[in-house]
Amino acid sequence: MIEDLLSLTSQALVAMIPLLLASVGEIVTERSGVVNIGLEGILILSAFVSSLVTFSTNDPYLGLLAGALSGLSAGLLHGFISVYLRGDQIIAGVGFNTFAYGISILGLINTWGHHGASPMVSKIPFFGAPLYISPLLPIALIIAIICWFWLFRTSSGLRLRACGEDPRAAEAMGVNVLRTRFLATLLGATLTGIGGAYIVVGWIGQFTRHISAGRGFIALAIVALSGWNPALSIAGSFIFGFFDAISLYLPVKIQLINPGLNLTSLSYIFRIIPYLGVLIIVSSLFRRGRAPRDLGRPYIKE
């Protein structure tokens, strides 16, 4: 029993890392007034790029870096479209998800000729048995705490938040709203890119077609549930990481008890656990009116 709990927890701690990085990044972005629905696409794209780089160089850390850079590029695109061209942020994000998916699978096929998955690549080692902790976990936690401190205890954080609450007033107070929003989008996308790379080089070990399977949207849900507070998103990421772990764990356990069942088909029904969890928790706990006032609206200077 304890063993199971331990193994579940270490699974959860691994699964929470991409969720935490993406949600903290998106909290910063949304606090400045921009919503990036394209997190899912960034996760997929950076997962692919990092698998490619890690495969060629055999260095998972370079893979992480590549993931960060892919995130940055995605951020440049979304930031440019949303902030400077005043595009509809939700549509641009949805389009990006489809685009990133297409490009990544295209890359997968062109590179390795396979339609489902890439070959295995080297991974970042864990430390600390029996709880296998990835070195990226403390890093992600520190990033979350730093972001919390920065947003709520510094004047530059205050200025960023003002952009998301009332950009006109912020501008009148001397804040360069467009530039702040653009940089916040870049930061959020880069962190998400690291998260996406991590899924490959720190966890699954390869790039697959459904590598993300909605994690980008779970991160969006975590942003809202945590009240746009990076410290609370730590808890949220852990909870959903736990759901993720359970959904993989239960079918295996059940099959041990009942060997006659087909594992593949069985595992399908358990895969819905994380999504159902998000749905139920979000529907019951969400409180209106805590979002940044100007979220999602393009800032148009006269």
Partner 1 sequence: MEVLSLKLVEMRGITKVYPDGVVALRGVDFEASEGEIHGLLGENGAGKTTLMRILYGEIKQTSGEIIFSGRAVSFKGPWDSMRSGISMVYQRFSLVPTMSVLENFYLYLSSFQRVGIEEVKRRAEDVMERLKFRVPLEANVEDLPVGVQQRVEIIKVLLSRPKLIIFDEPTSVLTPIESRELFRILKELREEGIAIIFITHKLREVKEITDRVTILRKGERVGTYETPSVSEEELAIMMVGRGIVPAKRSVSSPGGEVMRVEDLWVRDDRGLHAVKGVSFELHEGEIFGIAGVQGNGQLELAEALAGMRRVERGRILLDGRDITDLPAEARYREGLAYIPDSRAVGLVLEMNLMENSILTSLRSFLGRGGRIIWPRASGRAGEIIERFNIVGSVRSQVKYLSGGNQQRLLVGREIIKAPKVLIVSEPTQGLDVAATEFIRSTLLKFREEGRSIILISSDLDEIFELCDRIAVIYEGKFVGIERSENLTLERLGLLMGGVNA
Partner 2 sequence: MRRIILEVSLSIIMSFFIGYIMLILMGYDANIVFSIVIREGLSNPTYLMIRSTPLILTALAFSIPSLVGVFNIGGEGQFYLGALASLLIAYVTGNPLLSMLIGMAAGGLLSALIALIKVKRGVNEVVTSIMFNWMIYFSLLYLISTYLFDPLMPYQSVSVPKAARIDYLRIQSLSIPIIFPIAVLTSLAMYFLIYHSALGYRMRVVGISPRTARYAGFNPESSIIVSMIIGGAMSGLGGSLLILGHTHAIDSTMSGLYGMGFAGIGAGLLGRNNPIGIILSSIFLSMLLIGGEAAELRARVPTELADALIGMIVIVLSVPYLVRILRVRR
Binding site for partner 1 (CB under 8 A): 155, 158-159, 161-162, 165-166, 168-175, 293, 302
Closest among 163, 165, 184, 156 to 28, alpha carbons compared:
184
* Binding flags for partner 2, 262-301, as an x/- string (CB under 8 A): x-xxx-xx-xx--xx-xx--xxx-xxxx------------
Q: Which does 168 bind (CB under 5 to 8 A by kind): partner 1, partner 2, none?
A: partner 1
85 part of the interface to partner 2, by CB under 8 A: yes
Confirm or reject binding of residue 91 to partner 2 (CB under 8 A): yes
Q: Would you state the structure tokens that stand for residue 138, as one six-digit string? A: 């403390």
233 binds partner 2 per the rule CB under 8 A: no
H or E element at residue 29: helix 2-31
The one-letter amino acid code at 128 reads G
77: contact with partner 2 by CB under 8 A: yes
By rule CB under 8 A, what string of x and - marks binding of each residue 158-197 to partner 2?
----------------------------------------
The token pair at 167 is: 């950009």
3-state SS, residue 54: helix
Least Å distance, CB 295 to partner 1, is 12
End-to-end Cα separation, the chain, in angstroms: 64
CB nearer partner 2, residue 149 or residue 268: 268
Cα Rg, the chain, nearest whole Å: 19
Angle between helices 39-57 and 215-225 in degrees, nearest 10: 130
Q: Is 109 in the site for partner 2 (CB under 8 A)?
A: yes
Residue 172: contacted member of partner 1, partner 2, none (CB under 5 to 8 Å, by partner type): partner 1
Contact in structure between 151 and 157 (CB atoms under 8 Å): yes
Name the residue nearer to partner 2 (CB basis): 101 or 126: 101
Which H/E stretch holds residue 233? helix 230-257
Of the candidates 144, 156, 40, which has an alpha carbon nearest to the alpha carbon of residue 90? 40
User: Site residues (CB under 8 A) for partner 2?
Assistant: 37, 41, 77, 81, 85-92, 94-103, 105-106, 109-110, 213-214, 217, 220-221, 224, 262, 264-266, 268-269, 271-272, 275-276, 278-279, 282-284, 286-289
